Amino acid sequence: MRLGNQDGRDPNHLVLGSRFGYQPLAGVIAAAGRHLDVISFNCYEFDPGPVIDAYAATGKPCLIAEFSFRGDDASLPNTKGAGPRLATQLDRARAFEGYVAAALSKPNVVGYHWFEHADQPAQGRFDGEDSNFGTVTIDDRVYDELTKTMTRVNAAAERIHAAAVPAVI
């Protein structure tokens, strides 16, 4: 893959632009596709496929910059923050596996990023978010179900993605 914008204004740098925090109108996505080398965005849905498809319409590689699922069994309020709430850590692990498998089935996806390493404090962080987004607790205790699933799924990521079938446009 050649680095730099199609118009040659910055041929020696990979231009990611600003990530999209939500899916804007199709015209905004198309404009971004004319100026960026990679389209990056957050996607807090169970199935990232439709969101990926909207950005992949640009023909550019797509990077999921942020996603996560919250578990209600983590003893955190989970009242502020993006994304679905699930009953258990096992549910979070299953949601991660389904999400990543769906994302990797899209040929335009070049990466994905879990939102946070550690949970947010129960009293809220600087912006009030108080949720179970971490792979570890605020006290650095590992969520075993989630991290074991992440290890297994991430080890298979290249194989899963290699089997992705390009969309017919």
Q: How confident is the model at residue 8 (pLDDT cuts 50, 70, 90)?
A: low
The one-letter amino acid code at 98 reads G
Taking only the tens place, the pLDDT of each residue in 37-87 is 999 999 999 999 999 999 999 999 999 999 999 999 999 999 999 999 999
Per-residue confidence (pLDDT) for residue 12, from 0 to 100:
84
Look at residue 4 and tell me whether its pLDDT is greater than 60.
Answer: no
Per-residue confidence (pLDDT) for residue 11, from 0 to 100:
78
Per-residue confidence (pLDDT) for residue 10, from 0 to 100:
73
Q: Is the dihedral of CA 21, 24, 26, 28 positive or negative?
A: negative
C-beta of residue 80 within 8 angstroms of C-beta of residue 129? yes
Alpha carbon 122 to its chain's center: 24
Q: 5-9, 33-37, 105-109, 111-115 — which is least confidently predicted?
A: 5-9
Q: How confident is the model at residue 167 (pLDDT cuts 50, 70, 90)?
A: low
Closest Cα partner for 132 from 122, 142, 145? 122
Higher per-residue confidence, 125 vs 17: 125
Q: How confident is the model at residue 1 (pLDDT cuts 50, 70, 90)?
A: very low
C-beta of residue 81 within 8 angstroms of C-beta of residue 131? yes
3-state secondary structure the chain: CCCCCCCCCCCCCCCCCCCECCCCCHHHHHHHHHHCCCEEEECCCCCCHHHHHHHHCCCCCEEEEEECCEEHHHCCCCCCCCCCEECCHHHHHHHHHHHHHHHHCCCCEEEEEECCCECCCCCCCCCCCCCCCCCECCCCCECHHHHHHHHHHHHCHHHHHHCCCCCCC
Per-residue confidence (pLDDT) for residue 3, from 0 to 100:
52
Q: 3-12, 77-86, 126-135 — which is least confidently predicted?
A: 3-12
What percent of the chain has pLDDT above 70? 93
